[in-house]
């Protein structure tokens, strides 16, 4: 039974009926993700900080406490022509309809980060909400797309970042 066509930018995926269980209590996951992010830099001494596009990669581990609740942690790195940033993060996500092949979720994240923007080096932290969709490719692998709104504080050269993250998750059942 065909469900619908979901368009993600220019990529379309045809979805088939309901799967056995895309996510469930006790699953441990390894995640690999990447994104291009639009970044707004902080104003310095009354001058506009400007904007940039960053390339970001991240890897993480997650565990399902229940069929709906996943906790995790990970590492990330981001680079542009004049900025690099690295981070350690924790996150929590609530998954709606965990038995479906397409599983929407919402959550939050917190990270400690280190950024190098040319002449300045900063230690900072980031927090913010996430929302996404997982698509079960097979019983052990899911594709996901996620929106993140990242709020940066401390000495960060960033005010905020809007990110669309694409990745793959491998589940150890």
pLDDT in tens, the chain (173 residues): 333 322 222 222 222 333 345 789 999 999 999 987 777 766 666 677 777 777 889 999 999 999 999 999 999 998 877 778 899 999 999 999 999 999 999 999 999 988 777 666 788 899 999 999 999 999 999 999 999 998 988 877 667 888 899 999 999 87
**pLDDT value, residue 157:** 64
112: number of CA atoms within 13 Å, CB side? Answer: 2
Residue 22 lies in a domain: no
Q: Of the candidates 153, 149, 148, which has an alpha carbon nearest to the alpha carbon of residue 125? A: 153
Number of domains in the chain: 1
Residue 10 lies in a domain: no
Q: Where are the beta strands (DSSP E) in the chain?
A: 5-8, 11-14, 28-41, 51-64, 69-79, 83-95, 102-117, 120-138, 141-154, 158-172
Residue 81 lies in a domain: yes
Residue 14 lies in a domain: no
Residue 97 lies in a domain: yes
**pLDDT value, residue 17:** 34
Measured between alpha carbons, how far is 62 from 122 in angstroms, rounded to an integer? 28
Q: What is the CATH number of the domain that holds 168?
A: 2.40.160.20
Residue 21 lies in a domain: no
**pLDDT value, residue 160:** 82
Measured between its terminal Cα atoms, the distance across the chain in Å is 27
**pLDDT value, residue 158:** 66
Supply the range of the domain harboring residue 93: 27-172
Residue 151 lies in a domain: yes
Residue 154 lies in a domain: yes
**pLDDT value, residue 81:** 76
Measured between alpha carbons, how far is 93 from 67 in angstroms, rounded to an integer? 11
């Amino acid at each position: 039974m065909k469900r619908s066509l979901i368009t993600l930018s220019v990529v379309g995926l045809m979805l088939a009926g309901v799967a056995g269980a895309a996510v469930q209590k006790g699953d441990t996951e390894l995640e690999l993700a990447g994104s291009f992010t639009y970044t707004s830099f902080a104003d310095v001494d009354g001058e506009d900080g400007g904007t940039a596009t960053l390339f970001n990669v991240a890897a993480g581990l997650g565990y399902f406490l229940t069929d709906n609740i996943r906790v995790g942690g990970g590492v990330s790195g981001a680079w542009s022509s004049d900025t690099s940033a690295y981070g350690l993060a924790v996150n929590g996500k609530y998954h709606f309809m965990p038995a479906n092949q397409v599983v929407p979720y919402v959550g939050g994240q917190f990270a400690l980060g280190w950024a190098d923007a040319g002449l300045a080096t900063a230690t900072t932290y980031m927090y913010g909400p996430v929302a996404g969709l997982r698509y079960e490719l097979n019983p052990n692998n899911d594709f996901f797309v996620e929106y993140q709104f990242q709020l940066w504080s401390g000495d960060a050269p960033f005010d905020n970042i809007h990110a669309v993250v694409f990745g793959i998750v491998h589940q150890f059942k």
